Chains A and B, each alone.
Chain A
Amino acid sequence: MMRIIIIGAGVIGTAIARELSRYEIDIVLLEKTADVANGTSKANSGIIHAGYNADFDTLKGKLNVKSNPVFDKLCADLKVPFKRIGSYVVGFNEQDLKELKKKKENGEKNGLGDLEIIGQKQLISQEPNINKKAKYALYAPGAAIISPYELTIAYANNAVINGVQLLLNTEVNDLISDDGQIKGVKTNQGEIKGDFVINAAGLYSDKIARMAEDNFKIKPRKGEYHLFDKEYGDLVNHILFPMPTKKSKGILVLPTVHGNILIGPNANTIDDKDDLSTTSKGLNKVLNGAKRLIPEIPEKGVITSFSGLRAALSSEDFHIDFSENLVGLINIIGIQSPGLSSAPAISDMVVEMFKNYSLRENYELQLKKDFKEKNSKLPHYYEYEDKGKLDDWQKIVEKHEDYGEIICRCEHVSRGEIIDAINAPVPAQTIDAIKRRTRASSGRCQAGFCGPRLLQILADQLNIDPLEVSKKGSGSQILRARSKQLILEKIKEDKRAGDQ
């Protein structure tokens, strides 16, 4: 059986893994960090764009438009929170109106039939908190919000259920080739043989490509965000965009699928691909940018801030193509916005590319008979609470009492849900991994209450020393020592020094 190696378990790598796992083929998905969705996929605006923004003759434009309609079914199957709330691009004057009309035209060229230009009155009635100086808006009912890391995790879970082997903490150091043909990869965990390699390594996809002497350079572009308390969830009803520039779609104000408000991102090119730090300059820019759309942004309502890095290519379009130098390698580079929105179509495109390749290699690709299209629905207390179905939750507790113990007070997450996350096909093994799957520790107290409890549950479930429990993988352990350990170590040291 042919083996495909996919490098990178972000939303693109996991989407491709899932789509390829429909076929009778051996798939290994490699991820260098301790969890899936650890790169750009966990730190972005969480938007499924309607598809009017990118030019119709770019890959970005085509693949975004193609993907947009499939999300309802995809999210229903994979059990991912998704809300099609629509978006406004907001203009303040006649010049803006001209640009909005151009965007509308572009969108129509891309195949969108439901775009509308609306005036001030309608805008204010739909968004009562909007800057009253706003005059026009381009309304796109097809825009939606999604949890990007939950989508990635769901793709990964489904891929694993369908036979994909996920190897975390596995970093590719080199490609193995023979006579211009890919043969496998060298990793920090040893060599892995493979017949085909898909480079979906996000920020580092240029590094992987250069291993095949395909020359690309990604320039990370940082975007910072503020997340607001759910108390302010009513601030806006749609995704609000300012007028876009060539560099970015601007600083947005939008609701999240879980009822928070998100503002950001700014856009700042940096050098270090691992620099996810927030800056006071950047965060201030984000706040001021958001105030242009919503003057009454409640600054005291911020519960957390974070930054993400766009994997920007100078061409500013997606690059999805076979390697120029090695047979059996596809490079996927420069997947920044609308990358998340285009994931389904990108994965379809890559599957097609692989199909053509395998035909040329006389390998017949058979569909699996028992492919599991859907993920199972795991119970979450907050969902039952929101829907007023607590009698049903009672039945769940009666079956397993762990669902009766609330661990995260702010987000109402039970012990049972946390244990489910630790035991999922793609297991949560760190505090941050649990946060992304269950929402525990993402609320207003930021793990002040649940932190010690999550730590204990991880230690128990993974059967490890509590000292080994980490925030996000090796090197980020939460605790430094057991009680009295530092004192006893110092006593020993002093004794040794005294004896000398």
Chain B
Amino acid sequence: MTKHKMVVVGAGPAGLAAALEASKNGIDDIIILERDKYLGGILPQCIHNGFGLEYFGEELTGPEYADRFMRDIDQAGIEVLTETMVLNINQDKLITALNKTKGVLKIKAETIILAMGCRERTREKIQIPGDRPAGILSAGTAQRYTNIEGFIPGKEVMILGSGDIGLIMARRMKLEGADVKAVLEIMPFSSGLVRNKVQCLDDFDIPLKLQHTITRIEGKKRLKRVEISKVDKDFNPIKGTQKWINCDTLLLSVGLIPENELSKAMNLKLHPATGGVYVNENRETELKGVYACGNVLHVHDLVDWVSEEAEIAGRSAAEYLNKNQEKRDLPIKITPNKNLTYTVPQKIEYKFKDKKFIKIYLRVEKPMENVKIVFSHNEKSMLSYDKKIVMPGEMVTVNLPVALIKKNMEEIKLSIVEKVGEKNGRT
């Protein structure tokens, strides 16, 4: 059995940033365990632009963004074990992993950073009935084949789901010579960026069918065709709108699920809205010394915020190791009100020391325009932010200055309200 001050599970953007931040804060015994052959997590296959505008002030592709952190990891001399799968973690922070060179690894960690990312929702999970042919795969797996492995998984492609992954893959497949028939979206709006809708679909005349889904799959060996249907506001297929579309490939972009098997192994509860564990402002879980960040905590849309969040986790883990933390007398619960799906963190537990503000990440339930995001305590407004437009597909971040947080506060409520006819600006 080996011992480490910090074990990071996953060398994607979250794991890398957390490890680096911990290292900058004086922790010199860090090991990152990564299951793939290479570092970067999902980024190396995200060959499109759109990463780093916030974090680096530059627009980068996925692999370029990952490389910035990989170079720093190299320079900092942080140990990384690749092709190493973490199979279990128990409540004593004992990690069981497996790789070819060392076999079964038993690692006792003082702190753990959970950065396992997400898996994709499957056709089986959303229960599309029909045959089970070859040619049905998740958009991310198709992306891996197309951008890393060197293969084209389909010639006549239908895509279910208009989130960014679905939109990006529509363009990618089209550019690589496939015929992309349509992108279907069950909601009345697309959750992807407008830029992606324009540059991935409109540029190539790929139709976007809102309020549509797939109701049947046909093909005994290879996919032959899919039945599409319009849906009503309750997502039920509308009789008479069924149409068959011939295709040999169906890509599913129907949601990401934080991959928390290891968190469950530690008996950590999962938040029903985020799919990740509960954390305080340090990204610390209910198990002291265990932190979570990135997509495994809640699904992000900008990798820049993943890095920022991971730095919070890395820094806090360093503070924990350096015994440089003091708890508040009472934790403060952060409660999202109606129209808000969730907040991360869900509570504030530590004294602020040099912190100036706490950044709250949140998601709204539906698209809204001209809104106020309000922090309140005991029905009294503490602070509010104006936003021109908010959408479920774009995570919102708001800063809560610590100066506004009083000693005896036990709950801070977050609400979002539509306002009428006011200009932008903080109130």
Q: How far is the CA of A312 from the CA of B331 in the complex (A)?
A: 65
Distance of A444 Cα from B275 Cα, bound (Å): 15
Cross-chain pairs A/B with CB under 8 angstroms, 6 sampled: A401-B100, A405-B85, A412-B87, A448-B138, A471-B133, A476-B134
Looking at A62-70, A182-190, A271-279, A353-361, the stretch in contact with chain B turns out to be: A271-279
Are B125 and A486 closer than 8 Å at their CB atoms?
A: no
Whether B137 pairs with A481 at a CB distance below 8 angstroms is no
In whole angstroms, how far apart are the Cα atoms of A406 and B134 in the complex?
24
Identify the interface centre among A274, A306, A478, A485: most chain B CB within 10 Å of its CB: A478
Q: How far is the CA of A451 from the CA of B119 in the complex (A)?
A: 13
Chain A CB count within 10 A is highest, among B104, B120, B127, B149, for B104
Docked pose: A136 CA to B240 CA in angstroms: 45
Q: Which of A13-21, A100-108, A389-397, A417-425 makes up part of the contact surface? A: A389-397
State the CA gap A479–B145 with chains docked (Å): 9
Interface flags for B79-110 (1: CB within 8 Å of A; 0: not) read 00001010110000000101111111000000
A137 to B217, CA, bound (A): 40
> A393 and B145: CB pair below 8 A?
no
Q: Is the CB of A303 within 8 A of B124?
A: yes
Q: Are A405 and B215 in contact (CB under 8 A)?
A: no
Q: A304–B151 contact, CB under 8 A?
A: no
A258 at the interface (CB under 8 A from B): no
| Chief secondary structure at chain A's binding surface | mixed
Interface residues contributed by chain A, number (CB under 8 Å): 62
Contact A397 B120 (CB under 8 A): no
Contacts of B333 in A (CB 8 A): none
A-B CB proximity, top 9 nearest? A486-B177, A475-B221, A397-B103, A406-B85, A471-B134, A476-B221, A404-B100, A476-B134, A401-B100
| List of B residues within 8 angstroms of A398 by Cβ | 103
* Interface-central residue, A303, A393, A405, by most chain B CB under 10 Å: A405
Please determine whether A482 and B150 come into contact, CB atoms closer than 8 angstroms: yes
Residues of B within 8 A of A483 (CB): 146, 150-152, 176
Q: Do B141 and A306 have beta carbons less than 8 Å apart?
A: no
In the bound complex, CA of A351 to CA of B363 (Å): 67
Sort chain B's interface into a size bin.
Answer: 35 or more
**What is the CA–CA distance of A213 and B133 in the complex, to the nearest angstrom?**
35
A197, B171: Cα distance in complex, Å: 56
| A351-391 residues at the B interface, CB under 8 angstroms | 381, 385, 390-391
Q: Which B101-154 residues have C-beta < 8 A from chain A?
A: 101-104, 119-120, 122-125, 127, 129-134, 137-138, 140-141, 144-146, 149-154
A486 touching B152 in the complex, CB below 8 Å, given contacts A279-B129, A471-B134 = yes
Are A304 and B124 closer than 8 Å at their CB atoms? yes
Chain B hits for A391, CB < 8 A: 104
Partner of B125, one of A278, A302, A452, A481: A302
- A496 contacts the other chain (CB 8 A): no
**CB of B248 within 8 Å of the partner chain:** yes
Nearest opposing residue in chain A for B177, CB measure: A486
Q: A397-B103, A448-B140, A476-B222 are in contact. Are A409 and B85 (CB under 8 A)?
A: yes
The reply to whether A451 and B222 contact each other, CB–CB distance below 8 Å, is no
B215 neighbours in A (Cβ, 8 Å): 280
Q: Are B222 and A448 in contact (CB under 8 A)?
A: no
Contact in complex: A444, B177 (CB < 8 Å): no
A276 to B124, CA, bound (A): 15
- When the two chains form the complex, which single residue of B141, B150, B264 contacts A451, counting CB atoms closer than 8 Å? B141
Q: Considering the complex, which residues of chain A in the window 450-485 have a beta carbon less than 8 Å from any beta carbon of chain B?
A: 451-452, 456, 466-467, 470-485
A481 to B151, Cβ gap below 8 A?
A: yes
Q: Is the CB of A445 within 8 A of B151?
A: no
Asked whether any CB of chain A lies closer than 8 Å to the CB of B391, the reply is: no
Q: How far apart are the CA atoms of A483 and B124 in the complex, in Å?
A: 28
Is A473 in contact with B119, judged by CB distance below 8 angstroms?
no
Tell whether, in the assembled complex, residue A448 and residue B151 are in contact, meaning their CB atoms are under 8 Å apart. Answer: no
Could you tell me the distance in whole angstroms from the C-beta of A404 to the nearest C-beta in chain B?
4
Least CB distance, A158 to chain B, in whole angstroms:
29
- Chain B residues whose C-beta falls within 8 Å of the C-beta of A470 in the assembled complex: 134
The answer to whether B119 and A448 have CB atoms under 8 Å apart is yes
Inter-subunit contact A487/B124 (CB<8 Å): no
The answer to whether B146 touches A473, judged by C-beta atoms less than 8 angstroms apart, is no
A372 to B25, CA, bound (A): 64
Question: How far, in Å, is B95 (CB) from chain A's closest CB?
Answer: 12
| Nearest opposing residue in chain A for B123, CB measure | A446
Pair B124/A449 contact, Cβ less than 8 Å: no
User: Bound complex: CA of A94 vs CA of B119, how far in Å?
Assistant: 49
CB atoms of B122 and A445 under 8 A apart: yes
